[in-house]
C-alpha cells in the first residue's frame, strides 16, 4: 500500500477542514473575485491541491502527479469529447441552414420565449442529460436558445438551471449505479428513493426558469404550460424511477412525455400575449411556412441521436461493451479498454472514518481504491454524438466545405474549455485520492440532528468539486451511508440525498460553467455566470435538504427501507 489517507493532518478538525478548502477558495478568488481566465484559475487551484496533498497530507508526490493526469485524462476522454462533438453537430446544422428549420419549428409551437426556454432547456435538455450527460444538454440547448433569439448570457444561465433535476438519473443511470457500487445498496431501491424527491423539483424548475427571465406577472401568464411541462415530467419521472428494469431510462422517457404533452397542450391553449426579448426579431409575416420535409431534415440529426442513445441504453454493457474481464471485440480491437493507472490503482487506502464496518475489518493492503481509466471508445456519449454527425453528413448530403467550416468553428470554440475541463478534473482527482475531499465531508457529520439537511449540501459540494453527480457519489456515498448508520438514520435516504442534493451543484461546477460559456460564445464571462447562478444553486440545494429532513423525521414511510 502506497498511501493511507489521514483526514486530520493538523490535529485540529477545524484547521484541517480550513486547509482542505484552500483549493476551492483559490479557485473562487481567482475566477470570481479577481476575474482571471478559467484555465489560469483551474491551474492555480490544482497547484494548491497538489501542494496540500504532498506537504500536508504526506501523499507521495509521484502519486499526486499521477492522480492529476488521471483526472485530466478523464476530463478529456468522456467529458470534453462529448462536449466537442455536441458542438460539432450543432455547428453542422448551422452552416447547412438546417438549424433555421429547428428554430422556426419550435417557434411554430410557440413564439413566446418563456415557453421556448422550458421546451428546449428543460424538456429537450432532460432527454440529452438522460441519454448522454457530460455537458451535452448545456452545450446543445444553450446554442439552440441563442439561435432562437435569447441573450447569450441568459441562455447559458437558463440551461445550467434546467440541467438539475434530471442529473441524478443522467447518463443512462450512471450516477445511481455509481452510488450503488460504493455503498453496496440496491440500485433499484436508490432509484425509487430518488424518484420520491426529484419530481418535486421537476415541478419547480420550469417555474423558476421563467421567473429568472421575467417578473411574477409574466410568469403567471404562462403558468398552465409550466404545470403541464413540469407536471407531466414529474409524474413520468416518479413512475419510471419505480420500475426495477427501466429506471435507467427515467429521464429519457420523462422528457419525451413532457415534450409530447406540452406540444398537444399548446394546440388548444395559448398565452394571452406573446413575450419575446426586445432585441429578438419577430418572425416575418411574409416568411413562407415550413414544409414537412424541411422540419424533418432540420430535426433529423437529433432524431438520429435519440435512436442511437435509446438503443445503447437498452443493454449497453452486455452486447456492446462487455465487461472488464470479457470485453467485446470489433475486429482486431476491443470496444472498450480498462486501463489500470500505474502507481495509483489499489495503492491508496481510505481511512476508517469513511469506511463501513465490513471494510474497516479488512487489512490495509485490501482497502485499495481503484484507479481505472475506462476507454469505452465506441459507446462513450461523445462517440455516439460523432456517429450521429457522420450519419447526418451522409443523410443530408452536407458538402466537404460545410464540414470543414463546422469543424474549424468547433476547434475555435473549444480551445479554452477543453484544457479547463481537463485541469479541473485533475484538481478533483487530487482532492479525491489525497483525502482532502473526505476532510471536507467529515465536517458535515458533526451537524447531528440536522445532518439530513446537510447531507444534501454535502452532495452539492461534491458535485461542485468534481463536476459530476457520479463522481460526487463515488467520493461521499460511502461516507453518507456510514454516517447514517452512526446517527440511526435511514442509509438509503442519506445516500440518495448525496445524489439529489448534488444535482443542484451542476449549476456551478467549473465543467458546466465552461461548457455553457463555450456553447453561447461567452468565453471569458465564467466568473459573471458563476456569480449569477450560485445563489440559485444554493437555494435549490437547500430545498432538497429540507425535503430530506422531512423524510427523515416526519414522513419516514416515504423512503424505501433497506
CA 119/CA 243 separation, integer angstroms: 26
**pLDDT tens track, the chain, 562 positions:** 689 999 999 999 999 999 998 988 888 788 777 878 778 888 999 999 999 999 999 999 999 999 999 988 887 877 678 778 877 887 898 899 887 887 777 767 888 999 999 999 999 888 777 755 667 788 888 888 988 889 999 999 999 999 888 777 876 577 887 788 767 788 889 999 999 999 999 999 999 999 999 999 999 999 999 999 999 999 999 998 988 777 877 887 898 899 899 999 999 999 999 999 876 555 444 467 788 898 899 889 878 877 887 776 555 555 677 777 777 877 888 888 889 999 999 999 988 887 767 777 788 778 888 888 888 788 777 888 899 999 999 999 999 999 999 999 888 878 877 887 788 778 878 988 998 878 887 887 788 889 999 999 988 988 887 677 877 787 678 778 878 877 888 999 999 999 999 989 888 887 788 888 887 888 778 888 988 999 999 999 999 999 999 999 988 777 766 5
- Cross-strand pairs, 218: none
Instruction: Name every residue whose Cβ is closer than 8 Å to that of residue 18 and which is 6 or more positions away in sequence.
Output: none
CA 220/CA 125 separation, integer angstroms: 23
Which pLDDT does position 313 carry in this prediction? 57
CA 69/CA 344 separation, integer angstroms: 11
- 162-163-168 Cα angle (round to 5): 130
Which of 223-226's residues contact partners 24+ apart within 8 Å by CB, and which partners? 224/265, 224/269, 225/110, 225/115, 225/118, 225/262, 225/265, 225/266, 225/269, 225/271, 226/118
Which pLDDT does position 202 carry in this prediction? 94
Which pLDDT does position 262 carry in this prediction? 95
Contact 286, 254 (CB under 8 A): no
CA 444/CA 442 separation, integer angstroms: 5
Which pLDDT does position 218 carry in this prediction? 95
With a threshold of 0.85, does the pTM exceed it? no
CA 185/CA 213 separation, integer angstroms: 41
Cα distances (angstroms) measured from residue 502 to each of 252, 490, 515, 519 = 20, 18, 18, 23
Amino acid at each position: 500500500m502506497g498511501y493511507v489517507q489521514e483526514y486530520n493532518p493538523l490535529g485540529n478538525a477545524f484547521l484541517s477542514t480550513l486547509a482542505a478548502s484552500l483549493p476551492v477558495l483559490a479557485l473562487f478568488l481567482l475566477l470570481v473575485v479577481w476575474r482571471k481566465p478559467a484555465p489560469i484559475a483551474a491551474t492555480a487551484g490544482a497547484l494548491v491541491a497538489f501542494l496540500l496533498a504532498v506537504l500536508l497530507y504526506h501523499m507521495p508526490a509521484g502519486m499526486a502527479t499521477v492522480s492529476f493526469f488521471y483526472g485530466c485524462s478523464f476530463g478529456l476522454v468522456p467529458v470534453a469529447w462529448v462536449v466537442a462533438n455536441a458542438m460539432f453537430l450543432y455547428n453542422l446544422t448551422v452552416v447547412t441552414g438546417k438549424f433555421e428549420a429547428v428554430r422556426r419549428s419550435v417557434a411554430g409551437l410557440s413564439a413566446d420565449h418563456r415557453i421556448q426556454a422550458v421546451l428546449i432547456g428543460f424538456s429537450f435538455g432532460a432527454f440529452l442529460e438522460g441519454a448522454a450527460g457530460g455537458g451535452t444538454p448545456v452545450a446543445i440547448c444553450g446554442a439552440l436558445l441563442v439561435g432562437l433569439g435569447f441573450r447569450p448570457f441568459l441562455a447559458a444561465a437558463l440551461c445550467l438551471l434546467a440541467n438539475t433535476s434530471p442529473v441524478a438519473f443522467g447518463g443512462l443511470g450512471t450516477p445511481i449505479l455509481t452510488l450503488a457500487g460504493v455503498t453496496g445498496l440496491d440500485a433499484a431501491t436508490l432509484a425509487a428513493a430518488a424518484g420520491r424527491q426529484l419530481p418535486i423539483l421537476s415541478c419547480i424548475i420550469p417555474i423558476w426558469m421563467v421567473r429568472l427571465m421575467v417578473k411574477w406577472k409574466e410568469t403567471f401568464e404562462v403558468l398552465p404550460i409550466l404545470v403541464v411541462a413540469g407536471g407531466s415530467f414529474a409524474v413520468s419521472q416518479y413512475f419510471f424511477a419505480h420500475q426495477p428494469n427501466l429506471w435507467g431510462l427515467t429521464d429519457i422517457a420523462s422528457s419525451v412525455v413532457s415534450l409530447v404533452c406540452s406540444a398537444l397542450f399548446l394546440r388548444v391553449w395559448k398565452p394571452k400575449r406573446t413575450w419575446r426579448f426586445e432585441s429578438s426579431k419577430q418572425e416575418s409575416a411574409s416568411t413562407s411556412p415550413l414544409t414537412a420535409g424541411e422540419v424533418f431534415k432540420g430535426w433529423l440529426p437529433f432524431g438520429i441521436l435519440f435512436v442511437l442513445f435509446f438503443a445503447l441504453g437498452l443493454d449497453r454493457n452486455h452486447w456492446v461493451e462487455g465487461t472488464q474481464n470479457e470485453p467485446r471485440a470489433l475486429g482486431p480491437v476491443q470496444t472498450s479498454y480498462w486501463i489500470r493507472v500505474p502507481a495509483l490503482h489499489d495503492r491508496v487506502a481510505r481511512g476508517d472514518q469513511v469506511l463501513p464496518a465490513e471494510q474497516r475489518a479488512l487489512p490495509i493492503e485490501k482497502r485499495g481504491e481503484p484507479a481505472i481509466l475506462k476507454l469505452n471508445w465506441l459507446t462513450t456519449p461523445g462517440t455516439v454524438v460523432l456517429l450521429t454527425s457522420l450519419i447526418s453528413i451522409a443523410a443530408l448530403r452536407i458538402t466537404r466545405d460545410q464540414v470543414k467550416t463546422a469543424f474549424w468553428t468547433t476547434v475555435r470554440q473549444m480551445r479554452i474549455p477543453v484544457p479547463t475541463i481537463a485541469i479541473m478534473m485533475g484538481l478533483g482527482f487530487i482532492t479525491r485520492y489525497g483525502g482532502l475531499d473526505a476532510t471536507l465531508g467529515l465536517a458535515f457529520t458533526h451537524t447531528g440532528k440536522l445532518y439530513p439537511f446537510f447531507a444534501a449540501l454535502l452532495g452539492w459540494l461534491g458535485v461542485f468539486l468534481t463536476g459530476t453527480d457520479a463522481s460526487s457519489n463515488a467520493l461521499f456515498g460511502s461516507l453518507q451511508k456510514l454516517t447514517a448508520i452512526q446517527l440511526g438514520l435511514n442509509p438509503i435516504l442519506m445516500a440518495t440525498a448525496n445524489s439529489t442534493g448534488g444535482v443542484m451543484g451542476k449549476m456551478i461546477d467549473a465543467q458546466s460553467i465552461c461548457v455553457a460559456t463555450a456553447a453561447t460564445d461567452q468565453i471569458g464571462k465564467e466568473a459573471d455566470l458563476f456569480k449569477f447562478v450560485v445563489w440559485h444553486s444554493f437555494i435549490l440545494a437547500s430545498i432538497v435538504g429540507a425535503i430530506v429532513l422531512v423524510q427523515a423525521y416526519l414522513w419516514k414511510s416515504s423512503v424505501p427501507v433497506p
